[in-house]
Structure 1
Amino acid sequence: MGRRIGRETRSGVESVLTPAGERILEAASELFYTRGIGAVGVELIAERAGTTKKTLYDVFGAKATLVATYLARRSSRWREFVLTRIGDAAPEDRVHAVFDAAGEWHRENPRGCAFVNAYAELDEGHPAMAVIRDEKRWMADLFRELCTDDHRGTGGAAVAGAVHLLYEGALVLQSAGGEADAMRRARESAARICGVSSSSEGPA
């Protein structure tokens, strides 16, 4: 296809960080994901990064900005990861490649979706909410692009919406629900939805 799948839509939260800023962000990212945002204080982050609270505040200004930057960095890494898997897939397997990528990602990140986890902890006015919502919109747009390519006409949007619901539901089930095969089952259901739509709509 001529256009690039999954083009970026988020204005970056990150700027070029100093080496100390990178250490702080890496330490915060590991701690926020494994322990939770509210459970982790800036003292622990600074200690883990081998720096001081003053340096943390000099670089990020506030813990809230650090949280937003953590999620923005994670979003960038996930997008690169999934777009690489899509690019390596055969055209007819690109939707399935998203589910395969999510399953592979989950094996290294067993606490589930960082954006869902963060949403459960943060107030609506928190600056990270914009990053969370942008990531979910990006995934919806990604499925819309992939499904519209496969299902021309009005059916593509409906297929994309159904497939996206399967994906988001599987993210929660495979972590909070303890169902290790949730993403595989969602992939199979997505294949059936895409197959039924393809056979019922006819040629473009």
Structure 2
Amino acid sequence: MRPSKRDELVQKALEVFYQNGFHATGMDMLVAETGISKTSMYKHFRTKEDLILATLRLRDEQFRNWLFRRMEELGATPRSQLIAMFDALKEWFAQDAFRGCMFIKASSEYQEENDPIYKQSAEHKRLLYSYICDLAKKAGAPRPEALARSLLLLKEGAIVTAHLRHTANPAMDAKAAAKTLLAEALGQ
């Protein structure tokens, strides 16, 4: 099934926002970069913020589907899937288009907790936490919530470090720390 014009607009806008940021991307830049007229944009979205929300929802769906699928492909057990998260991150960081986390960026540009864009970013992180917490439970962690929080702190730190290029291989640095955390939490 061919994507609708709205779906194409959201995908193209996602790429532009991810590359340039939200506040720095005006409607004129969106028109130039996507090839879609302002009239068409406003036909589908009342405001730029509505378009941003649509791009964040799409990015959330795409990123979680990709990450969870890669974790399952790279790890046969819940424990190995938790570690595989960092192998998947390494793949993401190696992509030419990698520009950090779109949700960290969005929540930095829209910092008020009641802002819908901030809320959408927080929801993405909550969904990741829920999935990782569930895996930690399946792996037998006595305190799965604490383990999930710790692993996600490593994940977020690796993303920021990769974006800032502070170290050569932040995903593998985080993976080594995650192995230590898992050994402490689960034994072995």
Compute the TM-score of the two structures, normalised by the length of structure 2.
0.88
- Match 2:179 to one of 178, 187, 191: 191
Q: Return the offset for 1:185.
A: 0.7
Q: Is residue 158 of structure 2 the alignment partner of residue 170 of structure 1?
A: yes
Relative to structure 1, is the Cα distance of residues 59 and 18 closer, same or farther in structure 2, using a 3 angstrom cutoff?
farther
Distance 1:152 1:183, change over 3 A: closer
Identity %: 25
Q: Which residue of 2 aligns with 1:136?
A: 125
1:50 aligns with 2:38: no
Counterpart mapping for 1:65-76 below 5 A: 65-76=50-61
2:98 to 110, 115, 128: 110
Residue in structure 1 matched with residue 144 of structure 2 by the alignment: 156
Is the 8 Å Cα contact of residues 20 and 51 (structure 1) preserved in structure 2? no
Moved more, 55-64 or 176-185: 176-185
Give a deviation string over 1:132-173, Cα, whole Å, max 9, x none. 0011111111221111111343x3322222212111111111
User: Structure 1 length normalisation: TM-score?
Assistant: 0.81
Q: Which amino acid aligns with 1:168?
A: E
State the alpha-carbon separation in 2 of the partners of residues 106 and 71 from structure 1.
Answer: 19
Please tell me whether the aligned partners of residues 24 and 45 of structure 1 are also in contact (alpha carbons under 8 angstroms): no
**C-alpha root-mean-square deviation of aligned residues, in Å?**
2.0
Structure 1 runs (4+) greater than 3 angstroms displaced: none
Aligned residue pairs total 183
Aligned equivalents of 1:83, 1:170: Cα separation in 2: 17
* Cα separation, 2, equivalents of 1:100 and 1:131: 26
Offset at residue 76 of structure 1 (A): 0.5
- Residue 177 of structure 1, CA deviation: 5.0
Q: Which runs of 5+ in 1 are unaligned?
A: 1-16
Partner residue of 1:97?
84
Partner of 2:47: 62
